[in-house]
Structure formats: C-alpha cells, structure tokens
Structure 1
Amino acid sequence: MPLTITVVRHGQSESNVAFEEAFRAGRAVALERPDSEAELTPLGREQATALGRHLAAGDPPELVLCSPYRRTVRTWELVAAELGADPEVRLEPRLRDHDMGRWSGMNLLALRERFPGQEENLTARLYAGFRPPGGESYPDVADRVREVVEELRTGHAGLRILIVAHDSVVLMFKHVIEDVPIDSVEAFGPVGNASVSVWRGTRPEVFNEMGHLPGKRPR
C-alpha cells in the first residue's frame, strides 16, 4: 500500500473560464478546441505555482502520475519547478478527464439546443451508468481509477504518490479508496482548481483543500 496518495486538480483552464462566464450570462457555449488541449489561464498558472510551494513544504512525492491533458501537464511542470525534487514521472491516460463524447465542450443550455430531451441524462443519470454518445459514464471513470489504485496498492508499497488530474478523477478516487457510494460522491464537490486531497491508506487526511491558494483560507 502506498504511504500516501495525494491527488490534485489542475489550475484554472480556459475552458473553466468559458463555462463560468456562460453560466453567469445564461447563454449556451460549445467549445471548438478538444478538451485535451485546453490551456491554463494566468490565474491557473499562479494557482499551480502556489500548489507547488504548498507541496514543497511537505515530503516530496516519489512517483508522479499525470493525466496527459495539456492543462494537467502544465500544472505539473509549474508544481515541479517549486518542489526541488526529482521524482519518477509518468503520463497516465487512465487519469484523463471524464469523456463526454459528442457532448464534450457543451454546457447545459447548448445540450438543450443540440440534443433536445437529453438534459436529465446529463444532470441525473451519469452516475447511474448513462454514457453520452461516444463518451463515458462516471462508473466508467471509476473503473479506470480503480485499476490505477490497485496497481499502486500492489506495486508501490510505502511510496508517496502524487496524482495530477481532474475534478471527476478526484471524486472517483474518493469513491474507490473510501468506498463511498458512487451516487453520493457528487456531494463532496465541486472540486476546486489546484485543490489537494490526501489519503493515508484508506483514511482521508484532507479533501479538496484550497487554503494554499491566493485569496483562499484554510478550512
């Protein structure tokens, strides 16, 4: 069993901002850029640097598994610049974000316009196993996270592990490690950008902690 598994979310991305602005304005948005190519914003880079300084204050990771998406890789690069350590680093495709298939890049209003009658599937059925066209359900995400956790348990005993990933992946780590029912983990969100969650064995030490970020207070 790893000594600790620390899971962090990437810093704020351009797609995060686009969705937040569309939500506030009450308008539809459908992003053209593939989800995997979303860049960090200036704030996201600042958050990643602050995250790196926070992690540098503790024991450094010995193995880093990072989602291959651009925003997670860039987050790790900025964290690494602050760590002063040289852990083994692997890009891990199983830590990619929840794949929404043909619905990728669309907010709820855009979904209503383009796929009438599908709103309930997005808001209520993803945790129950519904897959968007060409995409994944949350149990699908949980299955790939579970594979990663089992490999860490059997092959990396006693190590400090750092995971750099996405909000959906953070929630699925909670589901898998703590055996929280999958239809209950949504209540632990939203998972903040550059937040930190730490497990020692199956015991959570912190979850979704953001007190290290500019303008945030420790909880």
Structure 2
Amino acid sequence: MIGVRNLESLILTRHGESLANLAQQQAHQALQDPPEEIDVCDRDADVPLTERGRRQAAALGRRLAALPAHERPTVAVSSPYLRALETARIALAEMDSPLPLLVDERLRDRETGVLYRLTPHGVRVRHPREAERRERLGEFYYRPPCGESWTDVVLRLRSAYRDIDTDHAGGRVLVVAHDVVVLLTRYIVEGLTEQRVLELARTQVANCSFSRWVRRDGRLHPAEYGDTAHLAGPSAGPGRGPAG
C-alpha cells in the first residue's frame, strides 16, 4: 500500500443504517411511481442513524471487544459526518477500555454535488445530460457538477492514510466511514484495477460490516472483507442501504 508502511492492521467499517439509507430503500421500492428525490431534509453531513443503525453499531462494538487483545484497535478515526460519528461512539462504548477517537474530514462520504438526494430516476429526469455523461465515462471517473469522482475520493484517502500511518506507526487503526471509503480503501491497499473495483461495487458494502487488512511480510494483506457475522441477530440485521 503506497504511503502506508508502519500500521500493524487496518479495520474499516461503514456506518450503521442511516435515515437516508432507509429513505433510499423506500424510494427504490416504489416501482409504480418512482420518486425523483429521497425524503431527507438534512444536509449530508447531518443525517443521523436509525434505531436499527444504533443497534448495528453496538453489535459492531461487541465484535471489536471480542477480538483477542493483540488484535483490538488501538485508535479509531472517523468521518466527521454524524452517522459515522454516532456509529464510532456507540461501538467504542461497547469496548471495556477507552479508545482515542479522532476525526478526519478526508474520510467523509463522496460529495455528489447537484445530484444529492436524487434517485436514479430523478437524475434521468432532471439531468439527462449528466446521466448520459456518467454512462459514457463510467462510475470511476465520472464527476457530477459540484461533486467528486471516485478518483477524487482516492486522492484524499491516500493523503489521509499517509498521515494515519505516520501518526500511529505500529498501531491497529479502526476507520469508521462510508461505503465508498471502504470500497476504495480496498482499491488502494490491494492495488486493484478500475475494472475490478467496479465489479466489487456491484455488491453493496453492508452497514457496520467488518473489513480488515493485517501486516504480513512487510505489507498489508486482506483478512476479512464485508463480514456481517456479528449482525446475524434479529435486532441488528445487516442493512444494505444504496449509498452513504
């Protein structure tokens, strides 16, 4: 992994189910008269967890607490967005010893610009040229007006991980963020191609899923990806909201 040479392990999770995830699910289920917007009034940074999302975060915390002492994270770094911070705080509260929680704005969700809150149907209706341009360029390089492409997110993630690696050398770092951050971290760590990361994106990163890379032979290797075994109980099922 370019720029990350000193971490012992890296654990990533997506936040628990948020109100936006729930609204998106409801919008996608409206097949007869699909809405153009999802029913969320908050700005993206202020969208909170649902009650189910809070239960998922607690289940994640129990998963972390159950790790052997030599595998538990030594520090947590979160996206500043409310749904990620809530997830981090709830999860860390389940652990039996205090863990530093840092915030890094470079771990925020992808900014979708003028397409924020729009469903795929809404994009086609309100911004047909953008829908055509995204189809032509592909998801990896497409940048919506006032928003970011996946490659823009990759650039800020590389910067964030270089600093995390320097500040927490030898540490085991937990990152609490968003689906695109989890996916593109895998792209960075494993040196994937555009085609491979797009294939992986067909399977949604589940809310509060567990992904981990561990150091072996001088570099980070994948150990788990998108694991949801800790969410198997009826009260904390794995949410799979379309984005965020």
The TM-score bracket by the shorter chain reads over 0.9
For 1:182 and 1:147, the matched residues in 2 are separated by 20
* 1:191 and 2:205 aligned: yes
Greater Cα shift, 12-21 or 153-162 = 153-162
Residues 159 and 147 of structure 1: is their aligned pair in 2 closer, same or farther, counting only changes over 3 Å?
Answer: same
2:227 pairs with one of 199, 206, 209: 209
1:55 pairs with one of 56, 59, 64: 64
Number of the residue aligned with 1:145: 157
Measured after TM superposition, the shift of residue 126 of structure 1 is 5.2
For 1:13 and 1:123, the matched residues in 2 are separated by 28
Number of the residue aligned with 1:12: 17
Measured after TM superposition, the shift of residue 153 of structure 1 is 3.2
* 1:96 and 2:108 aligned: yes
For 2:199 and 2:229, the matched residues in 1 are separated by 20
Measured after TM superposition, the shift of residue 105 of structure 1 is 1.4
RMSD: 1.8
CA contact (8 A) 1:171 1:186 kept: no
CA contact (8 A) 2:140 2:198 kept: no
Q: How does 1:1-219 map to 2 (within 5 A)?
A: 1-26=6-31, 27-28=34-35, 29-30=37-38, 31-58=40-67, 59-122=71-134, 125=137, 127-188=139-200, 189-201=203-215, 202-213=220-231, 214-215=233-234
For 2:175 and 2:121, the matched residues in 1 are separated by 32
Residues 91 and 126 of structure 1: is their aligned pair in 2 closer, same or farther, counting only changes over 3 Å?
Answer: farther
CA contact (8 A) 2:9 2:173 kept: yes
For 1:124 and 1:198, the matched residues in 2 are separated by 34
For 1:68 and 1:126, the matched residues in 2 are separated by 28
Residues 42 and 121 of structure 1: is their aligned pair in 2 closer, same or farther, counting only changes over 3 Å?
Answer: farther
CA contact (8 A) 1:126 1:137 kept: no
Unaligned runs of 5+ in 1: none
For 1:126 and 1:79, the matched residues in 2 are separated by 35
1:44 alignment partner, SS class = helix
The number of aligned residues is: 217
1:204 alignment partner, SS class = strand
For 1:18 and 1:211, the matched residues in 2 are separated by 25
Percent identity between the aligned chains? 33
Unaligned runs of 5+ in 2: 1-5, 239-244
CA contact (8 A) 1:38 1:70 kept: yes
For 1:124 and 1:86, the matched residues in 2 are separated by 48
Measured after TM superposition, the shift of residue 50 of structure 1 is 0.5
For 1:124 and 1:18, the matched residues in 2 are separated by 28
Q: AA paired with 2:161?
A: V
CA contact (8 A) 2:76 2:176 kept: yes
Measured after TM superposition, the shift of residue 69 of structure 1 is 0.4
1:184 alignment partner, SS class = helix
Greater Cα shift, 184-193 or 94-103 = 184-193
CA contact (8 A) 2:73 2:173 kept: yes
